[in-house]
A and B are shown apart, each in its own frame.
Chain A
């Protein structure tokens, strides 16, 4: 008998939960000019998140999936992307989307049930939120291959959850990208839960990162609550993708501090005491302490940032609430590039039964 393959999985972490450096840091991690915008993006995400939940609770937004506790992953990865790269997000990655230039009012429109919210003014290369779990991995692999064929130094970046990594299309997309050497980065935000199903019931593997090995892809596990670690690993993976079209799988270990969505009550299936413990690992405090250690942050800056984020979010909410609802005819829009005649007739027929006044609040109630 002989060994024909061996593998190991690295776990990357630079800052401990208190924000103390565990060893030498990458250059960017000592540069406030690079770190502060990322801290700001994380703070903005959290502010937006809280506001979105409040809007949902008062009937002004549909079901919303919070990114609470997972902000470092989206921000760390998206900040390593270039404008021309393409993002394939799950529904929980507004942290990444905000960095990419998706506007808060666009995101609110999306969560409010208005398809116009996914027609991003700025992030034109990015794809809409993917709700059918895991299906976006294959899209991302295909897009990455398109970049490669056209000789463009671009990468596709795909986010999904720990639950999603159990799906066939996750493996298929991974495999495709590896065999065709497509510039793809897959990020599994392992928040330990898929609605009520814990990580342990999802997969018997020691790590989710090692799922990459079976496809011949490099897999790495990172502390997803350590912005420095996430950003560092994402930079390397993206450089590798752009240079030689090699995919990477990053498993970012984190914890879902909130409910699955606003339609969920997680206290029904998990112990609130465990959630409370997890708060001591959350990513904002960690990065803030590090910034304080660098002499780049203090209470006044924190206060100013809080104010700024609240104002930004409030202005976006205002814009969202003042968006006129789509007309009935809008449901026939964008179905085809040109609406076929038979559907034109159907649309006109449908309008016969339309109440004159469009209205109604969003309020779906399912994850």
Chain B
């Protein structure tokens, strides 16, 4: 069946709400409005206001309440409008959700799922365009997922809810309208990265909103006679380094595409892991394509210039291959 990334997310939410009475959704404007990216549209009518809860405007408050509801035995799905506003709730995520199991000697469990939109490319200005996935991927105690395909949008929620520990799911704002065929087997192993395209000459690693760009670059490179493998990281913590290393062993060259800012990025972490695990497999220093280290501009031409784009990826691969 063909559907959008948004519809796939909604299907997963509906299924979770139907299957488990402990599951409820809360966040700003998730009810009548249907969520700021329309993911929960129609769910209020179907499941009622107790399970599809509009919250007061207070990220710290409702994320904290989500932690508490999870501690209290429910399976809350908390929607934060965007990663930008999750910063107001960082303490609840980093100091509470991620730590309570450890700091209670294993007594507490926080089976919380936090969903949020991330990323730029929609002309929303610097304060609405952050890509801070790596901030969360830095934190022990939480799992971080980045669905980049319709199948993963459909498949990631169930295992995330089954996880006894907090899971953060990043939905890239540019992917909501992405349409694709939902494969019969959309179930997702949230421990593994996924190879999205085979190719022998270099490995391109990407996640979230950069995956379609990496695939597009691979297409253009193929037209020029260059075959690259494209790996979708999709689990940003813990990183599936086995899949990454296996790819590097096949191609001997690595380019990482990451919408985060270059310094201290996930790309930096991935390259460190590649160097640690398969340094002697490399035929060239790994390369990365990241966002320019500026506040993401609002003006269209500037925003485009600030973000990883297909031509930049193509150029990085060709530079690596010296072609």
User: Which residue numbers of A lie inside 8 Å of B, CB to CB?
Assistant: 62-63, 112-115, 131-134, 163-164, 166-169, 194-197, 201-203, 268-269, 325-326, 328, 330-332, 335, 343, 346-347, 350, 353-355, 358-367
Is there contact, CB below 8 Å, between B57 and A331? no
Is B164 interfacial (CB 8 A cutoff)? no
* Closest Cβ neighbor of B33 among chain A residues: A196
Given contacts A113-B299, A202-B56, A364-B123, 13 further A-B contacts (CB under 8 A): A63-B124, A113-B298, A167-B58, A196-B29, A196-B31, A201-B54, A328-B302, A331-B294, A331-B295, A332-B294, A360-B299, A360-B304, A362-B123
B96 at the interface (CB under 8 A from A): no
Contact, CB under 8 Å: A269 / B33? yes
Taken residue by residue from 108 to 152, chain B's Cβ proximity to chain A (1 for < 8 Å, 0 otherwise) reads as 000000000000001111011000000000000000000000000
Bound: A194/B58 CA distance, A: 12
CB distance from B28 to the nearest CB of A (A): 7
User: B residues bordering A, Cβ < 8 Å?
Assistant: 28-29, 31-33, 36, 54, 56-61, 84-85, 88, 122-125, 127-128, 262, 292-295, 297-302, 304-306, 309, 311-312, 315
Q: How far is the CA of A269 from the CA of B56 in the complex (A)?
A: 16
- Contact A358-B301, Cβ < 8 Å, known A166-B61, A203-B56, A366-B122: yes
Q: Kindly list chain A residues whose C-beta atoms are within 8 Å of the C-beta of B315.
A: 353
Which residue in chain B gives the minimum CB-CB distance to A114?
A: B299
Query: With A113-B125, A328-B302 in contact, is A335–B61 under 8 Å at CB?
Result: no
Query: B54, B127, B302: which contacts A131 (Cβ < 8 A)?
Result: B127
For the residues of B in contact with A, the DSSP-based class is: loop
Q: State the 8 A-B residue pairs at the shortest beta-carbon distance, nearest first.
A: A113-B298, A360-B300, A364-B123, A196-B33, A166-B56, A163-B57, A269-B32, A331-B294
Tell me the smallest distance from the CB of B116 to a CB of chain A, in Å.
14
Least CB separation from A133: chain B residue? B57
Residue in A168, A268, A332 whose CB lies within 8 Å of B33: A268
Q: Once the chains are docked, how many angstroms separate the CA of A145 from the CA of B206?
A: 47
Does B297 lie within 8 Å of A113, measured CB to CB? yes
Q: Which A residues touch B58, using CB under 8 A?
A: 166-168
CA distance A347 to B305 in the complex (A): 10
User: In the docked arrangement, what's the CA distance between A194 and B59, Å?
Assistant: 14
Which residues of B lie under 8 Å from residue A353 when comparing CB positions? 305, 309, 311-312, 315
Residue of A167, A362, A365 with most partner-chain B CB within 10 A: A167
